[in-house]
Structure 1
Amino acid sequence: MIVGLGNDIVDISRVDERLEKRILTEEERKNKKGKITKEYIAGRFALKESYFKALYTGISANSFQDISFLNRSDGSVFLMHHKYRPSKNGVYNFVYASLSHDSFAYATVLLEKIEGKVFIGIGTNLGKREENIQKAIEKLSEISKIVSISNVIETEPYGKTDQPAFLNCVVEIDTDLSPNALLEELLRIEKEMGRIRIEKWGPRIIDLDILFYGNLVLENEKLTVPHYDFENRIFFVKPMLEIAPDFVHPISLKTMSEIFDELISKNSDNNTHQLNKW
């Protein structure tokens, strides 16, 4: 369901380069190869205005610093949220942006809510591991609709290796919670199940990670989506391959099948074995 659509046109010749500090984020400055030009500023202004229009809020309720429009390696544009705001029509989990130039910058942003496509990674290596996963899935079902569940796999520890093996799976959910609200719910579930955060990569009774929220890209002090190290973690990639092989990573634009093949080619021993299906 389309929840927002915005368009904007900017006359490049009329752009004041002094607006750079107001319009561009630090990420956009780093992303630009070479000199910051009027064309670049105009393009980002048009994209951000289009996004604000798609929210049906306008610029008055937003800041140019809340979002960055960045270029992938192939030149295509994607939106990075530093602060996520739902459209007046509700939450969205997919964003599509286009930008073209001649003497004007033309931008379009479309916001869409597609059922499911929010993927949660579950891991545990303490206590009754299978019961931990089952309980976590039950708690997820209380805050969202479960769309699909991967098989459970057993994997060797990642990062800190002197600890018990993990059980992992991925659950696809449908939710009306915003990304940050979903994170708060996952942290609550972890706490209720006895998670104590002592050391990075240490043992844990339960671990819940937002791997993907549709094709959204988020970067703020509390949340990074897609998961920052997804493509190197077989215990995320293998379950994703099972339930969503054609799902596309929103930054690299690689499918789960492609990511899995690349990961296996780097490490022929994937150190996993399948246990069961919930």
Structure 2
Amino acid sequence: MIVGFGVDVLDIERVDLKLANRVLTEDERMNRARIDEEYIAGRFALKEAYFKALGTGIDGNSFQDVSFLNGRFGEVYPVLHRYVRPVCGVFNRIHASLAHDKFVYASVILEKERGGIYIGLGSNLGDRLENLRAALGEISEFCDIISVSKVYETKPYGKTDQPDFLNCVAEIDTDLTPSELLEALLNVERSLGRVRTEKWGPRVIDLDILFYGNLVIRTPELVVPHYDFENRIFFVLPMRELNAHFVHPVLKTSMEKLYQKLLDEASAENAGIEVYGDV
């Protein structure tokens, strides 16, 4: 369902290089070797189109709330530094397009697709399987759980001197924004007794937002897609099980290809994973 659509057109000759200080984020500056009027005009138009798609316009928003970066294939993709709930609901997919000659032409579509939001679950303390089941039970109180992968037993990642993990991935549908979903998941962790004392340490339950549709989010509180996802077999394998064709929105690579790459590398971390059963 389309929840927002915005377009903007700008004459490149009207753009002054000084506008870069107002329009460009640090990510956008790092994304381009040479900052010229065409680049600034494109980002200005894309952001105006995005604000229009939200249904708010520039009012209450900032050009620093979103970056529009050039991807590996030359495509434009947005990075949200602040998720703003549109007038017509929430969105979990965003599509952006930019063309230019003497003018720049930008369009942004915000879409709410059922599902497409993936949560990683892990536990290596206590009754691990029951911890996963309890977490899914609490998650189902504020989300619609569409599907859950098999449970996999995996060696610990990062800090290896701890018990093995049970991991699975759930696809959900929700009307919570990414930040609201994060807070709800943290509440589930606290409810089940997780205490954060050590990075990568043992845990009763660990809940991570792996993907929120095709959105790329970078805020102090939340990074989506999940950091280092492509190197974590305990995420990639259950994601492949649920949706082998799902494409990582930054790497532009499917779960099937990410899984095959991990198999080819045959690292120690990737070797130690087995099907444990169903949740």
| Same fold per superposition (TM over 0.5) | yes
For residues 201-221 of structure 1, the C-alpha deviation after alignment (integer angstroms, 9 at most, x for no partner) is 000000000000000000010
| Runs of 4 or more consecutive aligned structure 1 residues displaced over 2 Å after TM superposition | none
Counterparts in 2 of 1:1-278, with a 5 A limit?
A: 1-32=1-32, 34-267=33-266, 269-278=270-279
Whole-angstrom CA distance in 2 between matches of 1:256 and 1:15: 41
Whole-angstrom CA distance in 2 between matches of 1:63 and 1:91: 19
Q: Which runs of 5+ in 1 are unaligned?
A: none
What amino acid maps onto 1:129 in structure 2? R
* 1:228 Cα offset (Å): 1.0
For residues 55-95 of structure 1, the C-alpha deviation after alignment (integer angstroms, 9 at most, x for no partner) is 01000121000110011111101110000001100000000
Instruction: Indicate the SS of the match to 2:141.
Output: helix
Whole-angstrom CA distance in 2 between matches of 1:118 and 1:174: 6
For residues 235-277 of structure 1, the C-alpha deviation after alignment (integer angstroms, 9 at most, x for no partner) is 0000000001111100111110011111111126531110212
CA-atom RMSD, angstroms? 0.8
Count of paired positions:
277
Quote the sequence identity (%): 57
TM-score (norm 1): 0.98
What amino acid maps onto 1:266 in structure 2? E
Whole-angstrom CA distance in 2 between matches of 1:22 and 1:267: 47
* 1:183 Cα offset (Å): 0.2
Whole-angstrom CA distance in 1 between matches of 2:30 and 2:77: 15
Instruction: Indicate the SS of the match to 2:271.
Output: coil
Instruction: Indicate the SS of the match to 1:258.
Output: helix
Q: Which runs of 5+ in 2 are unaligned?
A: none
